[in-house]
Structure 1
Amino acid sequence: MKTTNAAVLAAGIFSQYAAGHSIFQQAGSGSTDFDTKCTRLPPNNNPVTSVSSGDIVCNVGGASASASGICEVNAGDQFDVEMHAQLNDRSCSNEAIGGNHYGPIMVYMSKVDDASSANGSGDWFKVDEFGYDASTKTWGTDYLNANCGKRAFKIPSKIPAGDYLVRAEAIALHTAGQTGGAQFYMSCYQVRINGGSDGQLPAGVKFPGAYSASDPGILIDIYSADLSTYQIPGPAVIDSSYF
Structure 2
Amino acid sequence: MKISTSLAVAAAVSSASAHTIFVSLNGGAVGDGVRVPSYDGPIQDVTSNSIACNGSPNPTTPTSKVITVQAGSTAKLTWRHTLTSGASDIIDASHKGPVMAYMKKVSDATKDSGVGGGWFKIAQDSFDGTKWGVDRLISNAGVQTITIPQCIAPGQYLLRGELIALHAASSAGGAQFYMECAQINVTGGSASKTPATVSLPGAYKSSDPGITYNLYNGQKTYTAPGPSVFTC
Q: TM-score, normalised by structure 2?
A: 0.88
Task: Give the deviation of 1:125 after TM superposition.
Answer: 0.6
Q: Alignment RMSD, CA only?
A: 1.8
Whether 1:104 and 2:102 are equivalent positions in the alignment is: no
Q: Does the 8 A contact of 1:53 with 1:208 survive in 2? A: yes
Task: Give the deviation of 1:63 after TM superposition.
Answer: 9.3
| Residue 224 (structure 2) aligned to one of 218, 228, 232 | 232
Aligned pairs for 1:35-54 within 5 A:
35=29, 36-54=31-49
Q: Which runs of 5+ in 1 are unaligned?
A: 1-16
Task: Give the deviation of 1:225 after TM superposition.
Answer: 4.8
Q: Secondary structure at the match of 2:153?
A: coil
- Taking every aligned residue pair, what percent have the same amino acid on both sides? 40
The residue type equivalent to 1:86 in the other structure is: T
The 2-side partners of 1:171 and 1:153 are apart by 17
Q: Does the 8 A contact of 2:34 with 2:182 survive in 1? A: yes
- Alignment correspondent of 2:163: 170
Corresponding pairs, count: 215
Q: Which runs of 5+ in 2 are unaligned?
A: 1-14
Whether 1:209 and 2:230 are equivalent positions in the alignment is: no
- Alignment correspondent of 1:67: 63
Per the alignment, do residues 51 and 225 of structure 1 end up closer, same or farther by CA in structure 2, a change over 3 Å counting? farther
Q: Does the 8 A contact of 2:80 with 2:87 survive in 1? A: no
- Alignment correspondent of 1:23: 21
| Residue 153 (structure 1) aligned to one of 143, 146, 165 | 146
Segments of 4+ moved more than 4 angstroms: 61-65
The residue type equivalent to 1:20 in the other structure is: A
The 1-side partners of 2:93 and 2:131 are apart by 15
| Residue 114 (structure 1) aligned to one of 97, 108, 118 | 108
Q: Does the 8 A contact of 1:20 with 1:85 survive in 2? A: yes
Q: TM-score, normalised by structure 1?
A: 0.84
